[in-house]
Structure 1
Amino acid sequence: MAKKKEATVEERLRALYNLQLVDSRIDEIRNVRGELPLEVRDLEDEVAGMNTRYEKLDDSLEVIKNDISSKKNLIEEAKALIKKYNEQQKNVRNNREFNSISKEIEFQELEIELAEKNINEYKVQIEQKKEVISQTKERLKERQTHLKHKKSELDDILAETEKEEQALIKKSEDFKKSIEERLVAAYTRIRKNVKNGLAVVPIERGASGGSFFTIPPQVQMEIASRKKIITDEHSGRILVDAALADEERTKMEKLFSKL
């Protein structure tokens, strides 16, 4: 079996620059989405939290209504006892029994007074909670509408870009397979550490792309010879000559237009 021919430095540079162009295109697509996925997730969490709060408020309203019912039952029971004690007073045999029953009546009257006070307090609480529930419901409806709009916006962007993004991710993996692992590792490391994820840049007006540091003429000639892989001493980026970059950019633009 014939040994696979080792790629030349120029072929490696072209493959690295093509990989950069593909990854930059993926970055552009993701930048279009921007913070939208996170915004949608945050809105979903907010809506879920508001739903839980709304349910708790509704439950607490039911608890207060049940408390009012209990107090009303207590009042009816106290009234029934007062009626019973009034009847008993008619048949007392001495002052001691009369006074004892009077105390019971007084106690039940106090129970009624306290229960009525509690009911009035509960009614105030109900009005307050109804106001909070109304505000929460209105706010929830507004956030749900906003979430629906943002989800629709995200879905539209995904529908437009997902197919292209997946094709580009596959193309990026294909390019990585054609480049030796150490170079891919270096490219990935540089890409993480530099602005805009640009690990491979062409020389523009005597400086590396996106940099103001001039590259000495001798180094520029070495880069143009495509005999070895040279990195920018200031940014660490891999450098390619402008002619190679233009050729690969034209080629890759045709590929992108087909995706």
Structure 2
Amino acid sequence: MKVKILTDSASDLPEEIIKEYDIDVLPMTIIKDDKEYKDRVDISPKVIFDGMRNKEVFKTSQVTPIAFEEKFEQYAKQGIPVVYVGFSSELSATYQSSVIAKDNVLTKYPEAKIEVIDTYAASGGFGLIVLEAAKFARAGKEVDEILDRVNLAKESIDHIFTVDDIEYLYRGGRVSRTSAVLGGMLNIKPILEVKDGKLIPLEKVRGKNKVFTRMVELMEERSIDKDFTNATICITHGDDLEGALKLKELIEKRYNAKNFIINMIGATIGAHSGPGTLALFYPKTKL
């Protein structure tokens, strides 16, 4: 029986891809003024970014073990194998929720085929890994083959990003107060990476235009194959489509790249990175 791919809304995949590959997505929770909203269900990323520009504060919460348990049990009752491809355990407790739920469901349905895997990834990089799993599932591959593909994609997909206002990273505990103040005063734009599931500062560049150029250069410097002609490249943005398209144009010109996924960062990631964030995800080796 065809394997079902389950993920969460921090994967930031466009709706058309979710539908095309029949991916099941559990929403993360957004909290504002003690009210809870489901990411991309009853609150949009645009609302989050507009609110943050107006100094509103949003918090996020993981998918609960109960939500996972209900979903796993749904597939277990139908005898459908399910693979949850999950948000980095270093950035959220969502993966831990899936582990708890899996153990609970297997006590009731010991024959069920349920696998959970930590991508150590976020946003579009996470999404590209989910997409690889979904392509294999649609092709009729077995669970073990899908897990192997996910592990290969985890090693290959690179994550680099920049934020428009470093203050948001300070609020999330990603940089010091001194770095945030100096960054704002000197128009310093940080370039960060996701490494081993964590956000790691990579470089500091003065001015947004230089950030675009440097991000494109880093693609070549950090890659092994250095050939992006047929690679799928993902760009996610914090309500800055103009910036995302500019970055896409630079990549097209430099590397003759053709395949792009461009999407707004979801409410879960956006609540921490802020409006104006630009993130770039690409394979360092051919998949």
TM-score, L = length of structure 2: 0.20
Larger radius of gyration: 1
More strand by share: 2
Choose between structure 1 and 2: higher helix proportion. 1
Give the TM-score of the pair, scaled to structure 1.
0.22
